[in-house]
Amino acid sequence: MLEHIGQIFRPQAEGSLPPVQQVDADIERLAGREAALVAERAAKQQQLAITEERTGEEYLDGHGESITNLAHLRLELEAIDLALTAARKRRLELVRSRYQLRAADLRLRAGEKQAELDTLNNQTEKLLRKLSELEGVNYDHSILSAQRCGDWFGPDFRPPQEWMGPADVAPDPVTGRYQMPRSRRLREEIEALLSEAAKIEADADQAVLEEGAR
């Protein structure tokens, strides 16, 4: 069982499966083992019924040759039941780990994008501070989301001057829009990754219930 999700994204040995695929393979292997144990239990249960009847007849006649076999079969059935319980528990833990792995991978990617965004913000902050000094205005990052593209209209529906701000112009309904700066795109990607990770984590309990019903 994976003990620390944070340690699973190490480079994989050549020929080995990626973590999530390995967990899926282990789940299927355990499911197959459970099916085999169920079939084995059914056969042992049938054998036990026959042995119980034979033991009763033998003991009635003063013999006890089948008593040892009877005790052994009952112990085997108990062991099979314990094995089924252990296999089911291990399989459900793996199902939960599969979701944790997927969520951890998304959060790792979000962290990488956040680091990229932080570096970009540090660079643009210096430029905005210089621009603020030149223009006498305290610029912040919101200005980066106000660059027009497409068709816009100024007063009297004439093309706007480049210095005009959002309050001075109106967009063409079809082509007028604001450009998407890299920093804004990164923020949206980070938010989407974290949202998906949270949803996967929330779905884990339901997935465990569904897997347990197999």
46 residue type, one letter: Q
Residue 48 lies in a domain: yes
**pLDDT tens-digit map of 37-50:** 999 999 999 999 99
Residue 170 lies in a domain: no
Q: Confirm if 204 and 96 have CB atoms less than 8 A apart.
A: yes
Residue 75 lies in a domain: yes
Residue 11 lies in a domain: no
Alpha-helical regions (H) of the chain = 19-60, 67-135, 182-212
140 residue type, one letter: D
The domain of 186 spans 19-138+181-212
Residue 171 lies in a domain: no
Q: Confirm if 94 and 23 have CB atoms less than 8 A apart.
A: yes
Residue 153 lies in a domain: no
How does pLDDT run along the chain (214 residues), one tens digit per residue?
Answer: 334 334 433 444 445 556 888 888 888 898 899 999 999 999 999 999 999 988 888 888 787 777 888 999 999 999 999 999 999 889 888 888 888 899 999 999 999 999 999 999 999 999 999 999 999 999 999 999 999 999 999 988 888 998 999 899 999 999 999 999 999 999 999 999 999 999 998 898 887 777 766 6
Split into its structural domains, the chain has a count of 1
Residue 45 lies in a domain: yes
Residue 10 lies in a domain: no
Q: Which pTM was predicted? A: 0.67
